[in-house]
A and B are shown apart, each in its own frame.
Chain A
């Protein structure tokens, strides 16, 4: 049986700059798919177009050409409220800079996607506490972001990203601002989410250690998918080694 695909990117191109200005082609015709329940990493040097790609997938920016299907929705055809609703319901996003609202408590931050859907407060409380249990952040709920460490903030952000059970969780260098211990905890958390909740995860990173938590890794170079490796049955340290090797050849 063929697995359902959550992300299907076809001939994706992105050119920055208006026609009469200086233009820069960041993506030059990308193709790839992510199957339901997969944990996929996207690697590439700084400036290779990782963020650009993720912005297209999450509708924060529009492609110049090509198709992007996410969970059956043609992202490029959506407009206005559809885009907002798509972001609110179909994708969960973790940002490098946490993106938590500092005027709200952790609990209120996590509940935001549900509040937007108009979920009843009883269901909301239940969902928040469930996800807080899963990510072991129940004790952080009444606190404000300013009272949390970077690692704690990112875990709260992860909780907010999955509380409404989106089809896919995306992270743009979510460990970028964390120390190594917190980074490790977060990556374990993403693995847990991927395995327990069967949620697809798309992780953008330039860090081989973070990437070693994925099942499959796509390497971007000069706006194209340069190569792809799979973890298969290897353990993580072996996969880590393979990534380093790949980067060695890839960067030549």
Chain B
């Protein structure tokens, strides 16, 4: 009988359950995808050439586990908030605590197991398609990636089911300890927090101190190594929590005493925020951390994405050198955004390669200050020399030396002959075309094909071509894992952040529905209510957003050792921040629209 009642209760809140189930399923799927990447030995071996990369993968895994735990705690409290009224009612109707306890336990566990099972299946599918898609978009190639990996399945199942068993036990204890009356009336209780100036001050100062320690430990990652991350996680979490708890409340209560609070719905807004922010402190802390991690991860990922070509460009002058170009290669070159291009005739004999002075005079060989002077590393400066100067200096540059395809014995020594002498000179003749493109990232696809063709015809002894594109490909091999991780974790954290806020806000909606119904009856204009809700939810979004941005600005210090000059974790973060904040704003708009729909009273019609 009770079981039937419980089922009916669930049916009534189908939509909320669907949101909950969806969120949990997504979380399990994301975890599986990551576990698959992080534990797949073959994959790690093939890609994590840099020792720090495996460290970063480990760090990512720990982070994801922590966030998952917190996330499930949230989902669980959302579940409990949906159900406690029903449970209270059952107890009032005479059901024993033990019976209700069993019910709670089962319900949580069934929901959790279901989410885990569906999540793993979804994770398998996403590993197959999404990861491939992301890699393709980034133009990365990660070897030995398979969607199905048993240890990852086991890890996901164990973690999630384990966590849900804990959550069920927690719910059981919670429910059997709370009085029936409290269970029945939780919706209507709006505990009003009191301000204690002294305690508040202490909390604020402590909060700032904790934050400072956290930021410092991230900056000092070189010395602290792995310990930096747990230190930062703990201190920043505590610091943010204390700071929120101490300051936001004081500000709101201060505002409540002003005249501004007595205009229109401002007083109501502050009243709402007052008890909401207090109840939401934990959630806002978590969301600010998730925000920081998502933004940080994406910033780092895109940092590599944008800066690897830049790094590559600082290594040489031409993007690629093609020997004896054929029609197909010419066709590809025509598709490039060429900034500079030159073709020289080479004659190789013995250990010498001969060039025609007339050709070099007509199209001087381009040189790059960035390769020699650090200050031009981020903004390469191209220049040419007079032929006389070039014979002495420029012709000895690595870029020029590499133009002649090497033999096993090493470089050919370049020699520049006058046109007549060159004509008479015997030797193996071929042409070389140097191409410098405007933007390596933009032309990546064409360059890749061109590189393949060149490689098939004229490989150097190491099976490589020459030019910045080759350097770029090599570096992507090293850092591609990091770049991918950045994007992947960033998107994962953003998704979790989204559903965390969604749970919390949706669980507050029934209460707000009543409140706005009241306002409607009292004669508040529709527009005023809309604006009021927009402000309220906006502030709830803004607080963790601001804190998250601050966290990221300090936290990027951590990547300094991994992104050495000319790369920098801070380079070009403006546009990434703008995009991320744009996404966050879209998410805000969606939440707001949803909330409006749930909460705003509808005008009567005939």
A190 to B142, CA, bound (A): 79
Q: Would B522 and A93 count as touching, CB distance under 8 A?
A: yes
Taking CB atoms, residues of chain A closer than 8 Å to B274 are 103
Known contacts: A86-B523, A88-B524, A118-B263. The answer to whether A103 contacts B604 by CB under 8 A is no
Once the chains are docked, how many angstroms separate the CA of A111 from the CA of B524?
A: 13
Residue of A nearest to B519 (CB): A101
Query: A interface, how many residues as a size bin?
Result: 35 or more
Contacts of B524 in A (CB 8 A): 84, 88, 116
A219 to B52 alpha-carbon distance, docked (Å): 85
**A62 touching B190 by the CB < 8 A rule?**
no
Interchain CB contact under 8 A, A93 and B267:
no
**Which of B191, B272, B519, B523 has the most CB atoms of chain A within a 10 A radius of its CB?**
B523
**B392 at the A/B interface (Cβ < 8 Å)?**
no
- From B259, which residue of chain A is reached at the shortest CB distance? A121
- Say yes or no: A115-B523 contact (C-beta < 8 A), given A101-B515, A103-B271, A103-B274: no
- Closest chain-A Cβ to B252's Cβ sits at a distance in Å of 11
Interface assignment of B424: CB less than 8 Å from any CB of chain A: no
The smallest beta-carbon distance between B267 and chain A, in angstroms, is: 5
Distance from B188 Cβ to chain A, minimum over Cβ atoms (Å): 6
Q: Are B525 and A103 in contact (CB under 8 A)?
A: no
Contact of B275 with A115 in the complex, beta carbons under 8 Å: no
Q: In the bound complex, what is the Cα–Cα distance between A64 and B262 (angstroms)? A: 38
**Counting CB contacts under 8 A, is B189 at the interface?**
yes
Q: Is B268 an interface residue (CB 8 A)?
A: yes
Q: Within 8 Å of chain B (Cβ to Cβ): is A40?
A: no
User: Is the CB of A74 closer than 8 A to any CB of chain B?
Assistant: no
Shortest C-beta distance, B174 to chain A (Å), equals 22
The residue from A80, A93, A115, A144 contacting B190, defined by CB atoms under 8 A apart: A144
Interface residues on B, range: 20 to 34
Contact with B along A4-41 (1 / 0, CB 8 A): 00000000000000000000000000000000000000
Contacts of B585 in A (CB 8 A): none
A61 within 8 A of B: yes
Enumerate B517-574 residues with CB–CB distance to A below 8 Å.
518-528
| A81-B526, A103-B271, A146-B188 given; A121·B515 CB < 8 A | no
* A112 touching B192, Cβ below 8 Å: no
> Bound complex: CA of A119 vs CA of B603, how far in Å?
26
Q: Which residue of B lies closest to A104 (CB)?
A: B271
Query: Is A103's CB under 8 angstroms from B268's CB?
Result: yes
A115 and B262 in contact (CB under 8 A), knowing A64-B606, A80-B603, A146-B189? Answer: yes
User: Complex Cα distance A58/B519, Å?
Assistant: 14
The smallest beta-carbon distance between B523 and chain A, in angstroms, is 3
Complex interface bits, A115-135 against B, C-beta within 8 A gives 1, otherwise 0: 110111100100000000000
B605 within 8 A of A: yes
Cross-chain contact B267 with A112 (CB below 8 angstroms): yes
8 A Cβ contacts from A66-108 to B: 80-81, 83-89, 93, 95, 99-104, 108
A233 to chain B, nearest CB (A): 37
Q: How far is the CB of A56 from chain B (nearest CB, A)?
A: 10
- List residues 118-175 of chain A with CB under 8 A from any CB of chain B: 118-121, 124, 144, 146, 160
Does A60 interact with chain B (Cβ within 8 Å)?
yes
B379 within 8 A of A: no
* Chain A residues, CB < 8 A from B527: 81
The yes or no answer to B222 lying at the interface (CB within 8 A) is no
Cβ-neighbour of A84 out of B191, B266, B525, B606 (below 8 A): B525
A80 CA to B530 CA, complexed, in Å: 14
The answer to whether A104 touches B522 (Cβ under 8 A) is no
Are B525 and A104 in touch, CB under 8 angstroms? no
**When each residue 182-203 of chain B gets 1 if its CB lies under 8 Å from chain A and 0 otherwise, what string results?**
0000001111100000000000
- Verify B188–A102 contact, CB threshold 8 A: yes
Q: Mark B494-525, 1 if CB is under 8 A from A, else 0.
A: 00000000000000000000010011111111
Q: Which of B263, B265, B525 contacts A81 (CB 8 A)?
A: B525
Give the docked Cα–Cα distance between A95 and B262 (Å).
24
Q: Are B522 and A88 in contact (CB under 8 A)?
A: yes
Q: Counting CB contacts under 8 A, is A223 at the interface?
A: no
Kindly list chain A residues whose C-beta atoms are within 8 Å of the C-beta of B264: 115-116, 118
Q: Chain A: residues with CB nearer than 8 A to chain B?
A: 58, 60-62, 64, 80-81, 83-89, 93, 95, 99-104, 108, 111-113, 115-116, 118-121, 124, 144, 146, 160
Residues of B participating in the A interface, judged by any CB pair closer than 8 Å = 188-192, 259, 262-268, 271-272, 274-275, 515, 518-528, 603-606
